[in-house]
Amino acid sequence: MDAELTRSLVVAADLLANAQAVAVLTGAGVSAESGVSTFRDARSGLWSHFDPLQLASPEGFAADPGLVWRWYMHRLAAVEAASPNPGHLALVQLERLTPGFTLITQNVDDLHERAGNVHTLHLHGHIARFFCQTCQTPYTLRPEDRTAPMPPVCRFCPGYIRPGVVWFGEILPERELRAAWQAADACDLFLVIGTSGVVYPASQLPLRARRHGAPIIEINPEASELSPLADICLRGPSGVVLPHLVAQMHRR
Ligand code: OAD
C-alpha cells in the first residue's frame, strides 16, 4: 500500500471512529471482487457489451421478453454462485462499530445480506425477487423457469413475470428511497464505495449529505463522478481498502 493511501486511511479511520451516524452508498464495484460484473467498466462492464435499453427497460421487455428473461436468469446464476468478499465482510464490522449505520446499495445482489449486514436499503431492487409485469403479483421462481426460453406467465392474469429490479425509466421503491434521503440528511459521515455515481437519484445522496456539512469518503480504484465531492479518496479495490480501514479503526 503506498504512503499516500496509508496516510488517508488513518484520517478516514479517525473520522469514522468519531462519527455517530454513518451513511454508506455502494455500487457494483463492491461486488466486483466476488466475480459479479460491473456495468460501466470499459472491458468487463455489462453495458459495454449489452444494450441497457434492450435488457433493462420496460420497452425492451415488451419487445423481446424471452431475451430479457434469459439474460436475467444468467445473471441470477452468477449472483447465486458468488460469495461475499472481504469488502462486504468489513462493512459488517463497520455496522457493528458505528452507533448509527445505514447501508444503501444500488446492487441487486444479496451479498451484503449474506455477509451479515442487518439493514440494507436496496434502491434498485433485488434480482432474486419476481413479480407480474401487468398485475404486480409476486411470483416464486420454479426450477424449470431458470432454463425456460420465455418468462413464466402470471397465475392471475396473462402478464409475464419479470425480475424485481428497477429498470431505466422506472420509479425507485418509495420506502427505500425515503429512508435513504433521511440517512443522507442525518449522517455526519458519508461513504461512497464502488459506484460510478452517474445514476440518478442515488448519485444525489452524497450531495445531500455534503450540503449539511458531512464529510465524504470515497473508496474506488478509479475517479468517479462523485470524486470532486469527496474530502478523502481512498484509491484501491474495496475488498482491500475496507478491511484496512476497519483494522485501522481497531488500532486507534
Ligand atoms: P458502475 O459499473 O457504473 O460503476 C462501478 C464502479 O465501481 C466504477 O466507478 C469502478 O471504478 C468501481 N470499481 C470497480 N472495481 C472496484 C473494486 N474492486 N472496488 C471498488 N470499486 C470498484 O456501477 P454502479 O455505479 O453501481 O442500475 O451503477 C449504478 C447503476 O447503473 C446500477 O445499479 C445499475 C446500472 O444500470 C440498475 O440495475 C437499475
CA of 29 to the centre of ligand 1 (A): 5
Domain boundary among 133, 165, 197: 165
Residue whose CA lies nearest to ligand 1 atom number 36? 39
- Name the nearest CA neighbour of 57 among 48, 47, 44: 47
The reply to whether 195 and 245 lie within a common domain is yes
The reply to whether 142 and 221 lie within a common domain is no
Residue 152's pLDDT is: 98
The reply to whether 41 and 77 lie within a common domain is yes
The reply to whether 199 and 233 lie within a common domain is yes
Residue 174's pLDDT is: 97
Determine whether the shortest distance from the Cβ of 29 to ligand 1 is under 6 A.
Answer: yes
Domain boundary among 165, 193, 223: 165
Give the residue numbers spanning the domain of 72: 37-81+125-165
User: Is 122 an active-site residue?
Assistant: no
Residue 120's pLDDT is: 96
Q: At what angle do helices 238-251 and 3-18 cross, to 10 degrees?
A: 60
The reply to whether 179 and 227 lie within a common domain is yes
Q: State the total domains in the chain.
A: 2
Residue 16's pLDDT is: 96
Distance, CA of 207 to chain centre: 17
CATH number at residue 228: 3.40.50.1220
**Burial per residue of 81-98, b for 16 or more beta-carbon CB atoms within 10 angstroms, e otherwise:** ebebbbbbbbbbbbbeeb
Q: List the chain pLDDT tens, one digit each, 252 residues.
A: 788 999 999 999 999 999 999 999 999 999 999 999 999 887 778 888 889 899 999 999 999 999 999 999 999 999 999 999 999 999 999 999 999 999 999 999 999 999 999 989 999 999 999 999 999 999 999 999 999 999 999 999 999 999 999 999 999 999 999 999 999 999 999 999 999 999 999 999 999 999 999 999 999 999 999 999 999 999 999 999 999 999 999 988
Determine whether the shortest distance from the Cβ of 45 to ligand 1 is under 6 A.
Answer: yes
CATH number at residue 71: 3.30.1600.10
The reply to whether 109 and 140 lie within a common domain is no
Residue whose CA lies nearest to ligand 1 atom number 23? 28
Residue 63's pLDDT is: 96
The enclosing H or E element of 193 equals strand 189-193
Position 116: which residue type?
Answer: G
Q: Hey, is 240 helix, strand or coil? A: helix
At residue 122's C-alpha, the angle toward residues 144 and 62, to 5°, is 50
The C-alpha cell at 119 is: 439493514
CA of 251 to the centre of ligand 1 (A): 30
Domain boundary among 111, 143, 165: 165
How many helices (H) and strands (E) are present in the chain, helices listed first?
11, 9
